Amino acid sequence: MSQNIVDKYGYKLLSPSELIRSNSVKGVEFAAQRQEGHEVPLAECVHLLESEIMSNRGSLRGFVIDGYPQNQSDAKILEQSIGVPDLIIALEIGQQTAETRRSVDSTTLPSTVSSYMRNAEPVLAQYSDKIMQIDAERNSSDIFNDVVPNIDAIAKSYGNPIAISRSSH
Q: What is the pLDDT of residue 161?
A: 39
Q: How far is CA 58 from the centre of its chain?
A: 23
Question: Which residue(s) pair with 112 in the sheet?
Answer: none
Helix (H) or strand (E) holding 8: helix 2-9
Helix (H, G, I), strand (E, B) or coil at 151: helix
Res. 99: pLDDT tops 80:
no
Strand partners, 64: 13
Q: For the whole model, what pTM was predicted? A: 0.71
Over residues 72-95, the pLDDT tens digits come to 888 898 888 888 888 888 888 887
- Grouping H, G, I as helix, E, B as strand and the rest as coil, residue 133 is strand
Residue length of the chain: 169
How many distinct helices (H) and strands (E) make up the chain?
Answer: 8, 4
Range of weakest confidence among 43-57, 98-112, 124-138, 147-161: 98-112
